Amino acid sequence: MNTSRASDGWSLAGSIAGTLPPLPSATVDVAAPGGGVEPASPDSGLRLLGIDFRGPCRPSDQWIRGSDLIAVYEPDDSRRLRATALWRPRSAPAGIAAWELVLSAQTALVQSDSAVAVVSQSPAAGAAWGGTTNSGRRWIPAEPGDLRPTAATCVLLHGGNGPRPSLLVAVHPQDVRQIEIDREADLFRVRCWLFSTAIEKGQLFRSRVLAAVGPAQDDEAWSARLVAEFAATPAPLTT
């Protein structure tokens, strides 16, 4: 297991990875995958692309490859699920920091439960579902506990009128299964469920989730552009 290393995108010391310039400043503690990416932000509640394995889980291996941070997890439960997480920054307009998680899963069992949730959270003034219609992308006001509209593939957490940024969370259209929103005071949490079908030995499941932080002003416009670009990206062949 790597103890100290630097690449073009990340430095890694023990379990703590940090981005290197010119990437947006952020850290990931791979020993605590539920925390995901923690951008440098005055909003202490901001967390992106954490992984909920439904129980404690530490990495069995970790490394960096260019601008990719990769960790392998084997949750200690009856599912015998083996997951590989790849966090990477994505290109975005000035003033916006965007990140992608590519998550893969396998099992050693004949058949197993594969469901895993990717969780992002931020203080926000409100939320909206994003979905594609014949006339383009449409944003629909969302309340915690609402059922995801059939066409929705993303959630936008509005920063409001102050300095607080907005947060976009999007599942690739080919991978969306279920998205849930919950709230504690002004802290909104978006939970994207992946791999909702049973997985069999020899199968490899892979899904992608995007999270982006940017100005509240014109957030629906910049979010729509990022979601369209994300939807057009080809499926990853390797992790």
DSSP code per residue over 175-232? T--EEEEEEETTEEEEEEEE--S-EETT--EEEEEEEEEE-STTHHHHHHHHHHHHHT
CB 7 within 8 A of CB 66: yes
Determine, yes or no, domain membership for 112.
yes
Q: Which of 104, 103, 115, 120 is nearest to 155 (CA)?
A: 120
Determine, yes or no, domain membership for 78.
yes
- Specify the pLDDT at position 136: 59
Q: Which positions ≥6 away from 212 have C-beta within 8 Å?
A: 90, 92, 96, 97, 98, 99, 167, 168, 223, 226
**45 burial type by CB count under 10 A (0-12 exposed, 13-18 middle, 19+ buried):** middle
CB 53 within 8 A of CB 75: yes
Residue 113 C-alpha from the chain's centroid: 21
Determine, yes or no, domain membership for 237.
no
> What's 175's domain CATH number?
2.70.98
- Specify the pLDDT at position 202: 83
CB 210 within 8 A of CB 230: yes
Q: Which of 52-56, 66-70, 179-183 bottoms out in mean pLDDT, i.e. has the lowest?
A: 52-56
Determine, yes or no, domain membership for 94.
yes
Q: What is the pLDDT confidence band of residue 199, given thresholds at 50, 70 and 90?
A: confident
- Average pLDDT of 16-26? 91
Number of folded domains in the chain?
A: 1
Q: Which positions ≥6 away from 234 have C-beta within 8 Å?
A: none
- Average pLDDT of 171-176? 90
Q: Which residue did the predictor score with more confidence, 41 or 178?
A: 178
Determine, yes or no, domain membership for 224.
yes
CA-based torsion, 35, 41, 42, 46: positive or negative: negative
User: CA-to-CA distance for 50 and 135, rounded, in angstroms?
Assistant: 33
- Specify the pLDDT at position 1: 44
Calculate the average pLDDT of the chain.
88
Domain that holds residue 39: 4-231
Determine, yes or no, domain membership for 110.
yes
* pTM (global) more than 0.85: yes
Determine, yes or no, domain membership for 119.
yes
- Specify the pLDDT at position 133: 56
175 φ/ψ angles, rounded to the nearest 5 degrees: -115, -10
141-172 residue pLDDT tens: 999 999 999 889 999 999 988 788 999 999 99
- Specify the pLDDT at position 128: 97
Determine, yes or no, domain membership for 208.
yes
**What stretch of H or E contains 128?**
strand 126-133
Q: What is the pLDDT confidence band of residue 204, given thresholds at 50, 70 and 90?
A: confident
85-123 residue pLDDT tens: 999 999 899 999 999 999 998 887 777 777 889 999 999
- Average pLDDT of 210-224? 95
- Average pLDDT of 59-81? 88
